[in-house]
Amino acid sequence: MYVPKAERSRLLQWAHASDLTSHLGGARTLEFLRRRFWETTGQRNSTDTSPSLRPRMLLCGCVLLLLGSVLAHPLDKMSLDAQWDSWKTTHMREYNGLGEEVIRRTIWEKNMRLIEAHNEEAALGIHSYELGMNHLGDMTSEEIVEKLTGLQVPMNRDRSNTWIPDNNVEKLPRSIDYRKKGMVTPVKNQLSCGSCWAFSSAGALEGQLAKTTGKLIDLSPQNLVDCVTENNGCGGGYMTKAFEYVEENGGIDTDEAYPYLGQDEQCAYNASGMGAQCRGFKEIPEGDERALTKAVAKVGPVAVGIDATLSTFQFYQSGVYYDPNCNKDDINHAVLAVGYGQTAKGAKFWIVKNSWSESWGKQGYIMMALIIKCNRVLQGMMLWRLLLTALCGTAVALFDPMLEQHWQMWKKTHGKNYQTEVEELGRREIWERNLQLISLHNLEASMDMHTYDLGMNHMGDMTQKEIVQSFASLRVPADLKREPSAFVGSSSAPIPDTVDWREKGYVTEVKMQGSCGSCWAFSSVGALEGQLMKTTGKLIDLSPQNLVDCSSKYGNMGCNGGFMSKAFQYVIDNQGIDSDQSYPYKAVQQQCSYNPAQRSANCSRYSFLPKGDEGALKEALANIGPISVGIDATRPNFAFYRNGVYNDPTCTKKVNHAVLAVGYGTLGGQDYWLVKNSWGLSWGDQGYIRMSRNKDNQCGIALYACYPIM
């Protein structure tokens, strides 16, 4: 008996719409369905076998045969109760009261019926794939989209990175599966966080890392979620911005070193945990499946974006997924294309890795239809917005062999040890790049193009972004109130041309803040130390750790930044600060351990200098002592300053780093501020820098100058 496929589909949809497959079974169902079908089609005489009625009766017979196996085990209440309890146990579901469980049970039942109906149609050959219940079963399609997708395609994208496949007519492999080649890590679970973009990006990087080094390492999506400021963490993002971050940051940590938490956290990238780097990225021409095929075949796993809003995608289980309702204009979910192939019947597909756990799809994967005809993607096919990672780990070929000895000497001098070969290769590349910057600058300085020299230091294997992120964390309060007062201790005596409080014993030794954004604490204790010496004649190292641990309620954030006046206010209210000896520096925020018995200094109030007034700053330095200041430390030349007067016209007035002004003077006709940093003795001129003075408040040094009063 032949029944056209379109007719089978129409009749089956009619049966489902009538809800006839959910409540009845056996012979009663057959008689009931026959009667209802005749009533619906306007035919009441069951004995009428005229030619006009015969096609309808044949169709009815067909659908009854189909429903025979389904209705033998209908989704009755008893069956659903058992399945619901089993599903809750499997997926460890607990609800807040009966009301919530009733709602979730209703959603789950609706999804169960959708799955059953689809699979009945698939058994007829209407669909090329099957659905299955999974851990998303008690969620609506809208909830799934809200919590588990998060691809945010930028309105304006840089097309200069478009990947152009070569025109060679070489034959591509009929199928490829990078899982079998050891280039794909296990499936992960992004949890209720819109971080699909981070998992897709990390997956593409993992593939290139395995390809170039032979090592398959799980990289950290959490690193990307927390640190890619151009994206929105669990609120969504885009893969190219993740690749740009890895390139500029000089690397991405391993998942072991920076584990996934499924929520937004403070950026905690640590270069010692780096697992891979990236030298760039390419973007596949939009909607070009042939180009994507070439890219996957020649390069490896590719980060891609798709529409994941349909229930059929959310409950996919097996087969080749093709849904004509998929919206090519609503790309909202990032995944990873790890290969392609075709079925025994010739149906072509992409092998796609998702980040919804192994409970979803086919152990976390989906085979998505690949349709190419006449060199064009067929209309109605899901069009992809595609990204391609560039090769990572190829830096070895770029290394200068003449620098090998110097690299080894530098590592030994600064005690550098790397956990993996990949990490060392990446750090070596950054080091050479910085060395080139230093050499070029000093060549120009020898021709009087600059007033200062640069030099390699302990930060040579770090990118500028890493340096700023690790060491410069001055946070100017949004609600900052400043009321300048007359200088305490000022006099009518002439202001000297040169001041250096080091020579008068007002300045303690240079410290090293480590990978902790505590510059504000070192600047604050430096100003307190100067005033302590001035009022008592005793130079005592005070405790930055005391401020890091104990001033959070004043708006400071420990190793994640703070502000000097907030530190002074803490000392005022706390009635003291401990010495560094009794409360030593750890470079990590810990529980507050202030001990009043070890108090070494106090503070009665503090004052700001007039905003941006270099003249006032000079007078204050001459009459008061060392002053806490904020500067812009984002310029690469600042990181590698060695000696001379630092004059960088590109320096902005957007301050981000706290230091201590300990004097001023003139060198070679260049006015300067003498500034103490907290980046160790190997930085600058024994930990100090001479910064341009009277250059329109260069680097914003006079914007937030303040000092404590004892």
Choose the final residue of a domain: 389, 420, 438. Answer: 389
Choose the final residue of a domain: 389, 413, 434. Answer: 389
> Do 380 and 517 share a domain, yes or no?
no
d(CA 630, CA 640): 19
> Do 373 and 409 share a domain, yes or no?
no
d(CA 119, CA 615): 80
Confidence check: pLDDT of 62 > 60: no
Q: What confidence tens digit (pLDDT) does each residue in 109-156 have?
A: 989 999 999 999 889 888 999 999 999 999 988 889 889 999 998 876
Residue 314 · residue 293 · CB < 8 Å: no
Q: If DSSP codes are grouped into helix, strand and coil, which group holds residue 65?
A: helix
> Do 368 and 439 share a domain, yes or no?
no
DSSP state of 490: -
135 catalytic residue (yes or no): no
> Do 383 and 405 share a domain, yes or no?
no
Examine residue 488 and state whether it is found in any structural domain, yes or no: no
Q: What confidence tens digit (pLDDT) does each residue in 568-613 have?
A: 999 999 999 999 999 999 999 999 999 999 999 999 999 999 999 9
Mark residue 26 as left, alpha or beta (left: phi above 0; alpha: psi -120 to 50; beta: remaining).
left
> Do 644 and 561 share a domain, yes or no?
yes
pLDDT score for 57: 35
- pTM of the shown model: 0.49
Q: What confidence tens digit (pLDDT) does each residue in 242-268 have?
A: 999 999 999 999 999 999 999 999 999
Helix pair 54-71, 5-17: axis angle to 10 deg: 60
* Catalytic option among 516, 519, 550, 651: 519
pLDDT score for 371: 63
Dihedral sign (CA 261, 266, 272, 276)? positive
Question: φ and ψ at 601, to 5 degrees?
Answer: -155, 160
Examine residue 136 and state whether it is found in any structural domain, yes or no: no
> Do 342 and 234 share a domain, yes or no?
yes
> If you write DSSP's letter for every residue of 363-431 in order, what string do you get?
TTEEEEE--EETTEEPTTS---EEEEEPP-SGGGGG--GGGHHHHHHHHHHTT---SSHHHHHHHHHHH
Residue whose pair of structure tokens reads 């070494």 in the numeric block: 600
> Do 32 and 178 share a domain, yes or no?
no
> Do 422 and 286 share a domain, yes or no?
no
d(CA 328, CA 382): 5
Q: What confidence tens digit (pLDDT) does each residue in 547-566 have?
A: 999 999 999 999 999 999 99
Examine residue 500 and state whether it is found in any structural domain, yes or no: yes
Examine residue 454 and state whether it is found in any structural domain, yes or no: no
* pLDDT above 70: percentage of residues in the chain: 82
Structure token pair of residue 594: 């202030």
The DSSP bridge partners found for residue 274 are: 253
* Catalytic option among 111, 189, 354, 677: 677
Is residue 37 very low, low, confident or very high in pLDDT (cuts 50, 70, 90)?
Answer: very low
231 catalytic residue (yes or no): no
Examine residue 589 and state whether it is found in any structural domain, yes or no: yes
> Do 412 and 376 share a domain, yes or no?
no
Examine residue 482 and state whether it is found in any structural domain, yes or no: no
Domain holding 656: CATH number?
3.90.70.10
Chain CA centroid to CA 609, Å? 39
> Do 670 and 585 share a domain, yes or no?
yes
pLDDT score for 169: 53
Q: What is the mean pLDDT of the chain?
A: 84
Chain CA centroid to CA 531, Å? 43
> Do 364 and 445 share a domain, yes or no?
no
Closest by Cα among 74, 140, 152, 151 to 107 = 140
* Catalytic option among 392, 603, 657, 706: 657
Domain total of the chain: 4
Q: What confidence tens digit (pLDDT) does each residue in 262-316 have?
A: 999 999 999 999 999 998 888 888 778 888 998 999 899 999 999 999 999 999 9
Examine residue 696 and state whether it is found in any structural domain, yes or no: yes
Examine residue 148 and state whether it is found in any structural domain, yes or no: no
> Do 355 and 408 share a domain, yes or no?
no
pLDDT score for 168: 65
Domain assignment of residue 323, given as a range: 159-389
519 catalytic residue (yes or no): yes
DSSP state of 637: H
Choose the final residue of a domain: 109, 127, 145. Answer: 127
